[in-house]
A and B are shown apart, each in its own frame.
Chain A
């Protein structure tokens, strides 16, 4: 009889599972486990079929075996560093251009009207469509890859900054002006904290795009980086290395994205749905 009064407890979770952090972690782990299981089964299916037997090394276990090999040879580290440099430089350039231009767009009406059409037009050009031009213009492969990443990721940063600033309460500026804020203080103490959340959200989107552009861009002609390492693994038929590198890309991307989510939360002053 008493059971009917007990509040619904989903999945009959114990005391530990009642904590949201623990529950989220366990569910996340379960999702990854299912993904691994599907991979394991797919590897097994490849192995039992004589026509696909050559590709058995795509499976989960050979891939896991490849990690220490690649790490021991320093391949993952050097590829990640090379790619990380290009990503950082491209994204850094995108932020250095996107944030100030976005602030101008959000703050000055005529600039917004004047720049909107060309920027929207440029934004719709696939970043990889710039590749031939980039290769012609830049002397080094590194230069063209950084350019491709920058041109892909500048738009989300710019538009998020402008949109964030456009919805800032204009009275905040009036109050600050009244209390004696100089233009620089207005920028550093009012504008930036007010839109930090929007800027980091834009950077998060930009990171996603940059990460997508990075790997195909590294197929081009460079001899370092994660994209190159994948190409290299394919050409040397080391399929387990290939999958291990693909996994590495996923892991690094996930870690970078999670760090940005943390930054977004840190700089968000919004309450509820605002």
Chain B
């Protein structure tokens, strides 16, 4: 399996809901080079999850556009796959069938599906559960199945919407490291939306902070650390502290021109 990353270019992206006065976010610009792991950090409601849905083509922005290697995203595609907070596996399918479901949508041959699925299952280390009923797996194993289901599509970009927030600390830490390692090995882009500073430091090459109402990217920080990253590593700790400080500073951020509009609330 080899995957090429993609250049992600977000140009002047805005999202406003007709029922709300203030846009969720306004004229966001962001570029992520091929193969980068980008973390978008922000509090709940800052629009980071909406931004991710627009990147996935599952929602449309009201203004602006998203370009992947120069091609505009107009809808969902197996070339960019999203992983959600819950694995959302299909309980009537086995692990193998769940992992291969995207390939059956693409009408692949039985043998090719089998090969690719086996490879993906090995990658997430679920070999012994290949034929299991997904309902018998633990939360972490289920999220691994969801990861394999995304990886078989050989996506250029993997979008992660707080994908490990429902897992216990140990499982979460293991998956964070594994996803990063796999992405680096195969070369695809990661965009991870999270409110967990640790997650950003462990997984990302670069972290951007979204804040304000309407939301905007107010800070960014390179996470220039060697792999594998350990939480206890002093360098990781130092960067974590810096990111935390920036995050807190950003929490008080208000965009000058809308400060008045927001003051009424």
Contact = CB atoms under 8 A, between A and B. Distances in A.
Interface of A: 169, 171-172, 174-182, 185, 189-190, 193-194, 196, 267, 269-271
Contacts of B102: 179-180
Contact of A175 (B77, B88, B92, B135): B88
Contacts of A271: 91, 135
Given A179-B149, A180-B77, A189 B84 contact: no
Contact of B105 (A171, A180, A194, A269): A180
Contact of B101 (A174, A179, A267): A179
B58 interface: yes
A189 B105 contact: yes
A138 B91 CA distance: 45
A195 B56 CA distance: 27
B78 interface: yes
Given A194-B92, A269-B92, A271-B135, A182 B86 contact: no
Contact of A193 (B56, B84, B90): B90
Given A169-B88, A177-B58, A271-B135, A182 B82 contact: no
A172 B93 CA distance: 13
A269 to B, nearest CB: 4
A234 to B, nearest CB: 49
B68 interface: no
B56 A179 contact: no
5 contacts: A178-B58, A178-B82, A181-B105, A189-B105, A269-B135
Contacts of B78: 178-180
A271 B137 CA distance: 13
B137 to A, nearest CB: 12
B88 A172 contact: yes
Interface of B: 56, 58, 76-78, 81-82, 84, 86, 88, 90-93, 101-102, 104-106, 135, 149, 153
Contacts of A180: 76-78, 102, 105-106, 153
Nearest to A186: B105
A263 to B, nearest CB: 14
B29 to A, nearest CB: 25
Residue picked from A174, A178, A182, most chain B C-beta under 10 Å: A178
Interface of A is mostly: helix
A68 B105 CA distance: 55
A185 B104 CA distance: 9
A271 B91 CA distance: 9
Nearest to A190: B90
A95 B29 CA distance: 53
B105 A179 contact: yes
Contacts of B58: 174, 177-178
Contacts of B56: 178
Contacts of B104: 185, 189
B237 to A, nearest CB: 36
Contacts of B149: 179
A261 B88 CA distance: 28
Contacts of A269: 91-92, 135
A270 B92 CA distance: 8
Contacts of A176: 101, 105
Given A171-B84, A174-B58, A179 B153 contact: yes
Going nearest first, the 6 A-B pairs with the smallest beta carbon separation are A179-B102, A269-B92, A180-B78, A171-B88, A269-B91, A193-B92
Contact of B76 (A171, A178, A190): A178
* Most chain B CB inside 10 Å of its own CB: which residue of A179, A189, A193: A179
Contacts of B76: 177-178, 180
A271 B135 CA distance: 8
Given A172-B90, A178-B78, 6 more contacts: A171-B86, A178-B58, A185-B105, A189-B104, A194-B90, A196-B92
B253 to A, nearest CB: 31
Nearest to A171: B88
